A and B are shown apart, each in its own frame.
Chain A
Amino acid sequence: MPDQLLFAMEVSLNGLMTGIMYALVALGFVLIYKASGIFNYSQGVMALFAAMTLVGIQEGRVPFSHLINSIFGTHITEFGFEVPALLAILLTVAVMIAFALFVQKFVFRHLVGQEPIILFMATIGLAYFLEGVSDLMWGSEIRQLDVGLPQGINGAIDNATFEALGYGFFIDNLDISAAIIAAILVAVLIAFAQYTKQGRAMRAVADDHQAALSVGISLNYVWILVWSLAGIVALVAGVMWGSKSGVQFSLSLIALKALPVLMLGGFTSIPGAIIGGLIIGMGEALFEFVVSSNDLFGAWFGFTFSATENWFAYVLALAFLVFRPQGLFGERIIERV
């Protein structure tokens, strides 16, 4: 097999793995959108906040230490103990649920019945707010996150592909565990939505607010539930991305990566989020591979491009939307006067 083809295969495989990470973020969007019609721009910042909180609790940092030190002139930064990973994760989940309560009580309860675009802009405000809170609580330095996930090259795949094709594929263990965790997460979410009482209530609200209210489902409760779930999904995404590239501000930008995934897959479909993520992950990796390669693109056109990941996903989604405005799996858009 020619080298270029092997490289391309490796690149697409890695792209698929990245795509799963995008899909993880996109999942949180879909959950909230389905149940409340809110397009939650702050999902990425929620992932950052969750990961920051997890690291902060694990390392036993004092929240708001910068602020406290500035006001009182003290020099406290850490409690001086470390929290085991599992307990820290549980505590972070508690924080995310508290955040869901806060958001519902102070923001979105007051915005019921507003236009979707107003709700969208409110979540942009929420993203700024949460980003500021996250920085105030834990500082804005880059933190290393380690919850015991395997890292580094996967030896088994490397060996197997080397024997079969004569070229070992580089696949990160972290990406593989991300894929497995994403699969489990989706299975659990679907099972939750299909087979539990709360899940049924959630689907009822998603279908029709008014009808759900009239059979005695508490809208408030369901929305808190959904925001908590989105917070937990954000935590998972934050842990994955944080283990991969450190917990830092750029983590919140993965939300921007998840948006084209959503446009492609449709805002209302969980399988759509996964497939959209895979298409975008693979598409942008392959596109970058081709246009930055001297042998392929350079040989035909005489110049090459780089860093196309920033916009490729958007342009792909945009081109796609022009032909199918509701995305791959979205519900058909029906408009009436």
Chain B
Amino acid sequence: MFYREAGDYKTSYAQDNQTFPIAFDRYRYYFVVAVGFALLPFVMTDYLANAILLPFLIYAIAAIGLNILVGYCGQVSLGTGGFMAVGAYTSYKLMTAFPWMDMVSVTLLSGLMTAIVGMAFGLPSLRIKGFYLAVATLAAQFFLVWLFNRVPWFFNYSASGQISAPERSMFGWAITGPAANPSVKYLFCLLFVFVLAWLARNLTRGSIGRQWMSIRDMDIAAEIIGVNPLRAKLSAFAVSSFYVGIAGSLFFTVYLGAVEVGASFGIQKSFLVLFMIIIGGLGSIFGSFAGAAFMVLLPVALTRIFADGFGWDTALARHIEFVIVGGLIMFFLIVEPHGLARLWALAKEKLRLWPFPY
């Protein structure tokens, strides 16, 4: 009954084009942002930050990035793990080579570096399409992981082959390293998520976003009506890799602190992020958040239920998780190929008409 356009008069084009045309949605959005920035940092605990919120925020960035490439531009990529590794290792090299550099610059530069690498690996997309391309991006995945594993310069010749983030702080608060406060880490990530999600939303509904979508729907037809496929595809690869690189950088510096490339950025990570956007919804920013939340919460919930609740061993809970995740992927593709975001949109449609659906 509150969820109506009625009575919400729009007096300018800007108002007509806003992301949340319904007043209720707008206030809900302000409310979520307010809770995220003003309430959660004060009730933060170590468990909440490390088990749920930090991975959720970081995977949300990665999922938005991959969604731009797969959901909006239609270029399936299985190299997400490798690109996250580029972000992480760039941060590491920057942090150790230039100790005076602040963390925001480090993170942004890592994103830029990943964008360059992503564009290089995106070049074949001009010739190869569909799952030929999906398999080709695996080349990036395996090559990059091998590179960071085998070339000692990348991990500063450390004996273990691991990289670990030195302590860095901003405004007197430690952001990375073991001394960092979970609220500070959370706020740092949230800031990036907020800005990047806002940016992605506005990119995808602008001219460049429409070019991506026309390439996705049919690239030859798009080319005929004047979309430059080189620019559209490479810009999608660049923007997507930028996001993924920032996610990888935060994953290493803020969330984990120490990383072994094969274990943290392997092929499993690529699939994890891909599953997030399939379950969440291809071609939807909200879907990236929903999918990230779902895939982060599911293992936590299953471990809670099977391991803590029933007292089974964790290996068994893990196997059941595989069955459930795999089953859900197939279920979503059969029932609702547009994922949670579509279900959400349907619910909102219903709500607009409720309680008189005719």
Contact = CB atoms under 8 A, between A and B. Distances in A.
Interface string A60-103: 00000011001000000000000000000000000000000000
B271 interface: yes
Nearest to B330: A125
B329 A314 contact: no
B41 to A, nearest CB: 36
B136 A321 contact: yes
B138 interface: yes
Nearest to B319: A135
- For chain A, the bracket of interface size reads 35 or more
A318 B136 contact: yes
Given A111-B334, A124-B329, A129-B326, A314 B130 contact: no
Interface string B279-301: 00000000000000000000000
Contact of B131 (A116, A128, A129): A116
B337 interface: yes
Interface stretch (B88-96, B155-163, B216-224, B350-358): B216-224
B135 interface: yes
Contact of A128 (B139, B218, B329): B329
B23 interface: no
A249 to B, nearest CB: 11
B310 interface: yes
Contacts of B135: 259-260, 262-263, 314, 317
Interface residues of B, number: 48
A129 B322 CA distance: 6
A129 B320 contact: no
B20 interface: no
Contact of B220 (A260, A263, A335): A335
Contacts of B76: 117, 120
Interface in A97-151: 107, 110-111, 114, 116-118, 120-122, 124-133, 135-136, 140
Given A39-B131, A111-B333, A111-B334, A311 B327 contact: no
B323 interface: yes
Nearest to B267: A256
A307 interface: yes
Contacts of B127: 321-322, 325
A200 B316 CA distance: 45
Given A110-B334, A337-B218, A337-B224, A127 B132 contact: no
Nearest to B219: A335
Contact of B143 (A111, A256, A315): A315
Contact of A122 (B145, B310, B316, B329): B329
A325 B128 contact: yes
B134 interface: yes
B321 interface: yes
Contacts of A321: 124, 127-128, 132, 136
A308 interface: yes
B340 interface: no
A310 B145 CA distance: 9
B325 interface: yes
Contacts of B129: 325
B312 interface: yes
Nearest to A262: B135
Nearest to B310: A70
A305 B139 CA distance: 17
A132 B320 contact: yes
Contact of B150 (A125, A135, A306): A306
A121 B124 CA distance: 21
Interface string A291-304: 00000000000000
Among B129, B135, B142, B316, chain A packs the most CB atoms within 10 A around the CB of B135
Contacts of A307: 146, 149-150
Interface string A326-337: 000000000111
Given A70-B316, A263-B132, A314-B139, A122 B333 contact: yes
Contact of B334 (A107, A129, A311): A107
B323 A70 contact: no
Interface string A215-233: 0000000000000000000
Nearest to A303: B151
A336 to B, nearest CB: 8
A224 B128 CA distance: 31
B315 interface: yes
B130 A126 contact: no
B278 interface: yes
B274 interface: yes
Interface string A3-25: 00000000000000000000000
Given A317-B139, A321-B132, A124 B322 contact: no
A218 B322 CA distance: 33
Given A70-B312, A121-B278, A132-B321, A318 B139 contact: yes
A308 to B, nearest CB: 7
Contact of B142 (A110, A114, A263, A311): A311
B319 A136 contact: yes
B139 A124 contact: no
A310 B135 CA distance: 14
A335 B222 CA distance: 13
15 contacts: A70-B310, A114-B333, A118-B337, A120-B134, A129-B325, A132-B320, A132-B323, A135-B319, A136-B323, A256-B267, A263-B132, A307-B150, A314-B136, A322-B127, A325-B132
Given A121-B333, A125-B326, A125-B329, 10 more contacts: A67-B316, A107-B330, A118-B337, A122-B329, A124-B274, A131-B326, A314-B136, A321-B132, A321-B136, A325-B132
Interface of A: 39, 66-67, 70, 107, 110-111, 114, 116-118, 120-122, 124-133, 135-136, 140, 256, 259-260, 262-263, 305-308, 310-311, 314-315, 317-318, 321-322, 325, 335-337
10 interchain residue pairs of minimum CB distance: A125-B329, A129-B326, A132-B322, A128-B326, A132-B323, A314-B139, A311-B142, A135-B319, A311-B143, A125-B330
